[in-house]
């Protein structure tokens, strides 16, 4: 299914979008990737949504990526004898390992690893940062704090610890079970929460064992601090602005977003911008102007994908939310300023033959009347390198591997085509021309660029480029040479 845009749309599934008709309508409206949130829903419900997505994929003959988002460890306070208490600015408040229900002076925090890492002066944020505490003194089983910002604290509210590296693995026991379950189901991407260092990503990749690509969610200050090593370890990145905006000053998030997107592009790894992009559309059929501007900014910055969360999972207008993103993307990408920004942010990177081939393909396409760039890829690397160039013509990602096509559905500009295995370059050219014409990317008399690697069907061998005419004789060619 050809999109008239390059940026991809990720739609989260949930109670408002769990049946065949809605999921199909979401894909037809513009959703390229479906996110399964492992924080909500039983394994049976997740499996049913997965089954429906694959049926939609088959019915529409359109590669769809499925992203399973692992919950990660959840840090929460215990309970209160009265259900809640009001904390006043300047008051003293203790968190400890005592399981006795809390009061206005203290509450249980059942996470000894937090106390092991805390130091005086550190901040503790409760209920998405609405309450801010400053640690005055601490030990192995307590933290005596002063209330910096007060408010109502109630049972099992979440806790964020922005200032220290917590000795916690990104994968909880639930996450390990969920990871194995969704890998057996056959998801294409895993989103890893609570990432603080590259070690967290390596652990998840070891458990996935190649069955799914691993995408690191950047939602903690430590992840920003160690971003380069996390990026190197990951297959992709999600800029999860929700927790990031809680643990860092909100004014710091926009420049961090811009910086991370550029680094991901340089590394030829897909990046998703997520959280509260069209939040008002949970209850309204129309977004705010600020939300539209936010979506547009992520597109201008060159992100691979933009994501809907509650808007499509639990909102009243899931299809309209996707349509809005689709319309904004088309409008932005049709703006001449968009191309200027994308070209200005391109960096000359890489020293391999493959880097040179994809750069040459983009230059040829821009300087001559080329309709598309068709790249043959096994692992997806050549298509990712081509996407890094952000060419002004469509990218046809040609692969004989269905899983590769699905994973590439997340990447900027990639129109994924599953082809029969080819053994010679002539066969690749024929397949590319057929794919370009069948998809409406080129017509008789047009030309496309074809890139591939010889020997065929070996990852990492991109070393050949040809400008091919989209002639009728090539479509029906049976010449194997």
**Which of the residues are catalytic?**
35, 76, 217, 275
Cite the beta strand spans of 185-332 per DSSP E: 189-192, 213-218, 236-240, 271-274, 305-308
CA distance 358 to 155: 55
> HSE-up of 180 (CA within 13 Å, CB side)?
5
Q: Is the CA virtual torsion 396, 399, 400, 406 positive or negative?
A: negative
379-383: which pairs have CB atoms within 8 A and are 24 or more residues apart? 379/404, 379/459, 379/460, 380/404, 380/407, 380/408, 380/411, 381/268, 381/354, 381/459, 381/460, 381/462, 382/354, 382/358, 382/451, 382/453, 382/462, 383/408, 383/411, 383/414
CA distance 376 to 457: 9
How many C-beta atoms surround the C-beta of residue 235 within 10 A? 20
Do 204 and 176 touch, CB atoms closer than 8 A? no
Cα 199 to chain center, whole Å? 19
How many C-beta atoms surround the C-beta of residue 279 within 10 A? 20
What is the chain's percent helix, strand, coil content, to nearest 5?
40, 25, 40
Cα distances (angstroms) measured from residue 481 to each of 73, 423, 445, 448, 472: 56, 9, 22, 19, 18
> HSE-up of 422 (CA within 13 Å, CB side)?
24
First to last CA, the chain: 31
Do 52 and 132 touch, CB atoms closer than 8 A? no
Partners of 191 in the beta sheet?
69, 215
């Amino acid at each position: 299914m050809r999109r008239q845009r390059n940026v991809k749309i990720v739609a989260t599934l949930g109670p408002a979008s769990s049946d065949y008709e809605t999921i199909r309508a979401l894909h037809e409206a513009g959703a390229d990737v479906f996110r399964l949130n492992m924080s909500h829903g039983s394994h049976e419900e997740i499996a049913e949504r997965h089954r429906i997505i694959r049926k939609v994929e088959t019915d529409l003959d359109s590669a769809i990526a499925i992203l399973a988002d692992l919950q990660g460890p959840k840090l929460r306070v215990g309970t209160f004898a009265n259900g809640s208490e009001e904390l006043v600015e300047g008051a003293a408040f203790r968190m400890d390992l005592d399981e006795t229900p809390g009061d206005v002076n203290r509450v249980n925090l059942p996470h000894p690893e937090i106390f092991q890492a805390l130091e005086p002066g550190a901040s503790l944020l409760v209920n998405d940062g609405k309450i801010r505490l400053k640690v005055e003194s601490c030990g192995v089983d307590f933290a005596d704090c002063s209330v910096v910002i007060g408010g109502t604290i109630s049972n099992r509210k979440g806790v964020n610890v922005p200032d220290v590296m917590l000795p916690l693995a990104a994968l909880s026991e639930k996450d390990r079970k969920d990871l194995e379950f969704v890998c057996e189901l056959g998801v294409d991407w895993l989103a890893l929460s609570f990432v603080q260092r590259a070690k967290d990503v390596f652990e998840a990749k070891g458990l996935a064992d190649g069955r799914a690509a691993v995408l690191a969610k950047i939602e903690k200050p430590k992840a920003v601090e160690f971003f380069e090593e996390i990026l190197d370890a990951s297959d992709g990145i999600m800029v999860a602005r929700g927790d990031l905006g809680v643990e860092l000053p909100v004014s710091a998030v926009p420049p961090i977003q811009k910086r991370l997107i550029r680094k991901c592009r340089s590394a030829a790894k897909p990046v998703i911008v997520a959280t509260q992009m069209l939040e008002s559309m949970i209850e309204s059929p129309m977004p705010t102007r600020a939300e539209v501007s936010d979506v547009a900014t992520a597109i201008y910055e060159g992100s691979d994908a933009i994501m809907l969360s509650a808007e499509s999972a639990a909102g009243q207008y899931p299809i309209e939310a996707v349509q809005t993103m689709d319309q904004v993307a088309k409008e932005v990408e049709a703006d001449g300023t968009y191309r200027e920004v994308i070209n200005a942010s391109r960096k000359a990177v890489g020293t391999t033959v493959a880097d040179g081939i994809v750069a040459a393909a983009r230059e040829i396409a821009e300087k001559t009347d080329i309709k598309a760039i068709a790249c043959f890829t096994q692992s997806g690397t050549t298509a990712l390198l081509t996407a890094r160039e952000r060419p002004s013509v469509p990218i046809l990602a040609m692969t004989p591997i269905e899983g590769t096509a699905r994973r590439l559905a997340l990447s900027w500009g990639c129109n994924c085509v599953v082809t029969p295995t080819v053994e010679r370059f002539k066969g690749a050219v024929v397949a590319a021309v057929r794919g370009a014409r069948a998809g409406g990317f080129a017509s008789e008399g047009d030309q496309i660029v074809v890139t591939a690697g010889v020997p065929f069907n070996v990852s990492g061998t991109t070393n050949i480029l040809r400008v091919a005419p989209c002639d009728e004789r090539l479509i029906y060619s049976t010449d194997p040479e």
